[in-house]
Chain A
Amino acid sequence: MASGIRDKVAILGMGCSKFGERWDKEADDLMVEAFEEALKDAGIEKNQIQAAWLATAIEEQHVGKSGIPLAQALRLPFIPVTRVENYCASGTEAFRGAVYAVASGACDIALALGVEKLKDTGYGGLPQRSRGALNSMFWANLSAPGSFAQLAAAYVAKHGCDAADLKHAMAHVSVKSHDNGTRNPKAHLQNKITVDTVMNAPMVAAPLGLFDCCGVSDGSACAIVTTPELAKSLGKSDIISVKALQLAVSNGLEAQHNSWDGSYFATTRIASRRAYEEAGITKPREQIDLIEVHDCFSVTELVTMEDLHISPEGGAIKDVLDGFYDADGALPCQIDGGLKCFGHPIGASGLRMIYEMYLQLLGRAGPRQRRQAPTFGLTHNLGGFPHQNVCSISIVGRHGA
């Protein structure tokens, strides 16, 4: 019987580049920037890393395929390097590969690095790209905001709430993340905005306006992982370990079977339940101290609060407007600014979230540090569309907690 990943692997070091429009940098520059921070933090030599995982989602825009771009950027000594892609869950997927490698005993120290260099397309937003020979013939012509925006219509229809109330709560989500971004020097966006700014912004995909959407960024983040025992022997006293790593992938049910109403993420509900079980968490609303979720769009974050079983179904609007998820609230969400303001270099995003948890758990988050350092932090990625997606959940925390 599988016992899960809880406390089997420790984070030895982490790094994260500045996110943003890095016009003067190539992907390899960003990888090196994140890696040097992590290596210094880990206190090891590069040649001690025995295996690596590289996450990129839209590799055709920058490094191309395979693990070679990472091996070349860091001049890794001919170790195994695997490139992973799983939509926006790619970063967490790379982390999962490295963590599982250590947990299996196949290696002692492994690297997970995510990178994305998206600002060379010539226009804002995600690149318009082919979906494959058959999919291109029948998939609806919709952008990322176009697919996620539909959550709102279905949510309003299901819960009978006022569309204006939902939009107002969505605005609060973005205003909160912008507030948090101002306390993060690595964030892409570090400016405050008001509810009026969000409400009056140009429409991208109704009801998502410009400020309901995260932008795309250049950036890289990475983690070096090992066993808790090795971490201690390498001099670490404050051990942060992995409590849960879960992934749920749509099998076509939401897209093709009428049991899904379009108002929630079926994958997130399943992945989060499994993650709590793996981490030994029974009351997430009370036990989780900090969350970083995939706020690609304000409505995604709002709905996700319910799918993580933290807000009751239909209760996210109230929790959001009550400030429950604000930086000074009971359970801060996106304390680093989130995708909305820290930025969204796709392959790096999952690792960036874990990076923030790691800093917060160690009390190293600077001006945005929670007064009482958290015990459990949860990160969540969502790649694809509400009707067919990949959801990843990680829970990290103090070793033994």
Chain B
Amino acid sequence: METGILAYGAYIPRRRLARKAIADANAWFNPALKGQAKAERSMCNWDEDAVTMAVEAARDCLTGLARDRIRAVQLASTSFPFEDRLNSGIVAQALNLGAEISSLDVGSSQRAATAGLAAALEGAAGGQALFLASEKRRTKAGSTLEMTSGDGAAALLIGSGKVVARFIGAHSRTVDFIDHYRGQGSAYDYVWEERWIRDEGYAKIVPATLAGLFKKSGIEPASIAHFCMPCTLGKVAASVAKKAGIPEGAVRDNLHAVCGETGTAHSLVMLADALAVAKPGERILVAGFGQGCDALLFEATAELQQLPPRKGVRGYLARRREETNYNRFLAFNELVTLERGMRAELDKQTALSTLYRKRDMILGLVGGRCGTCGTLQFPKTNVCVNPECNAFHTQTDHPFAEMSGKVNSHTADQLTYSPDPPAICGMVQFEGGGRLMTDFTDVDMAEVSVGMPMRMVFRIKDYDSQRGFTRYFWKATPAGAAKEA
């Protein structure tokens, strides 16, 4: 049986920061930023990180597909919210994949995603694996990286059988070329000169890797239809393609204008974007650069057309809200010391024993279904909430995360502490039963109304800055906003 990609998905946060806003704020110090002040980059909401974006990309990837054959979850990132807590394990719990799976975090390089994906594909014999890449890079205010980066994630379901893209092969080179680094305890990257990175890095390391792949696979470079190679330096992908003999028209848009480079996730974001338009038989070449290079070769199959519709990169890009307030970006990313008020001082310690006991409820949004009367309810309890039933010990697990709901009541709370006031929240009533008074996210006050369709998303509930613990839960977001795909 053929091995390859069974499904793909992506996630790009809704907010897009106008690069002009970055330049306007910082050009007094670095006038060169004005030259980059074009278009926009994606930025996480305050309640998003590499884990929450990975969950959304995975849900997009798994749209309309069963999850019971997934045996492994791998998550690549260089911006994990936890240095020591299995980040992919959080994702697995949020997706309710059960305990009988393996999980692995892959990091430490901008090519963590391609290296991890190649390894996963080469060892894909043992059932389906969900390969995720997600990035929310921390960058200094007024830096070029702040301009060129974006936040986002991609997801690939890999395995054998009805693949949408057949895996032809991969080739890697490992070279300790330090274009940038981030040492232990440092929040930000330290970057060397761009011209050197271009000439000694990309221009030499990538073509050599591609040549190795073509030689190994016996594939002609001229047969490549989609070349996915992230690089924020001008014309590098095109010159690499030319050197490798790849047709000029195959070089794919690196999404700089609409998204920015999503770090280690970007190779796979570009791959997901390519899969959305690839025709059966077309070959897709993916490259990842960072202390060497990975190159992966795929061939699209007719199964692509059988895949249930998903949002993908373009669907999420269409779900867009422009952000022109650079101060909000600074505050969200803790780049400025904001007066958050005394209400923000509340101790947010998480009882880890409670969280473990209730992990299905909190991370998986699993509630209950009464075996006697069928009433769905959240949370799952000992006694059914239906006043006509009230049966004891009848509830079985019922996952609510993929259920659609409607707004029952709502407000925009200016009083409670929120990193992005007002805190919009309300009662969401699920179709089929159950309800939850819950936080809303990615929503504008003016658009909320009673009866509005909502879907649930996995987000940061709050952050315990005293102990460095991120607390996750589910929130409601307008279901209509992400429809255009």
Binding site for B on A (CB under 8 A): 121-123, 125, 128-130, 133-134, 136-147, 149-154, 156-157, 202-206, 208, 251-253, 255-259, 261-263, 385, 387
Contacts and interface: CB of A to CB of B under 8 A. Distances in A.
B135 to A, nearest CB: 27
B427 A257 contact: no
A400 B227 CA distance: 92
B416 A258 contact: no
B450 to A, nearest CB: 4
B387 A149 contact: no
Nearest to A155: B409
Interface of B: 341-343, 345-348, 350-351, 354-355, 358, 361-362, 375, 377-379, 381, 385-387, 408-418, 422-423, 425-427, 429, 433-435, 437-439, 445, 449-451, 461-462, 471, 473
Contact of A153 (B350, B358, B387, B450): B450
Nearest to B417: A128
B411 A137 contact: no
9 contacts: A128-B416, A137-B358, A137-B461, A137-B473, A140-B439, A141-B425, A143-B416, A146-B411, A147-B411
A257 to B, nearest CB: 5
**Top 7 closest A-B pairs, CB basis?**
A146-B413, A150-B409, A157-B450, A149-B411, A262-B409, A143-B415, A143-B416
B377 A142 contact: no
Nearest to A206: B412
A138 B347 CA distance: 16
A205 B408 contact: no
A153 B423 contact: no
Contacts of B433: 258
A387 B385 CA distance: 14
B456 to A, nearest CB: 12
Contact of B354 (A133, A149, A150, A202): A133
Contacts of A125: 415
Contacts of A146: 411, 413, 415-416, 423, 425
A200 to B, nearest CB: 16
Contacts of A130: 346-347
Nearest to B472: A137
Contact of B414 (A150, A203, A258): A203
Contact of A258 (B354, B418, B429): B429
Given A133-B354, A256-B377, A257-B435, 11 more contacts: A123-B343, A139-B437, A140-B426, A140-B437, A141-B413, A141-B425, A141-B461, A142-B411, A146-B415, A258-B434, A385-B437
B354 A137 contact: yes
Contacts of A144: 415
B385 A154 contact: no
Contacts of A141: 413, 416-418, 423, 425, 439, 461-462
A122 B345 CA distance: 12
Contacts of A262: 408-409, 427
Contacts of B416: 128, 141-143, 146
Contact of A140 (B414, B425, B471): B425
A380 B351 CA distance: 37
Contacts of B377: 256-257
A261 B418 contact: no
A80 to B, nearest CB: 34
B446 to A, nearest CB: 10
Contacts of B462: 141
Contact of B451 (A121, A157, A251, A258): A157
A234 B146 CA distance: 81
Given A128-B343, A142-B423, A257-B387, A205 B450 contact: no
B382 to A, nearest CB: 11
Q: Which of B355, B358, B450 has the most CB of A within 10 A?
A: B450
Nearest to A158: B450
A256 B377 CA distance: 6
Nearest to A140: B425
Contacts of A205: 411-415, 422
Contacts of B348: 136
Nearest to A387: B437
A130 B351 CA distance: 12
A153 B197 CA distance: 57
Contacts of B385: 251-253, 256-257
Contacts of A134: 354, 358
Contacts of A385: 437
A251 B343 CA distance: 29
Nearest to A123: B342
A259 to B, nearest CB: 7
Nearest to B358: A134
B471 A137 contact: yes
Q: Which of A121, A130, A140, A252 has the most CB of B within 10 A?
A: A140
A250 B356 CA distance: 28
A252 B361 CA distance: 17
Contacts of A139: 437
Nearest to B415: A143
Contacts of A149: 411, 413
B346 to A, nearest CB: 5
A136 B350 CA distance: 8
Contact of A150 (B411, B439, B473): B411
Q: Which of A123, A125, A147, A152 has the most CB of B within 10 A?
A: A147
Contacts of B386: 257
A214 to B, nearest CB: 13
Nearest to A263: B409
Contacts of B375: 257
Contacts of B445: 206
Nearest to B341: A123
A206 to B, nearest CB: 5
A145 to B, nearest CB: 6
A324 to B, nearest CB: 26
A116 B92 CA distance: 47
Nearest to A137: B362
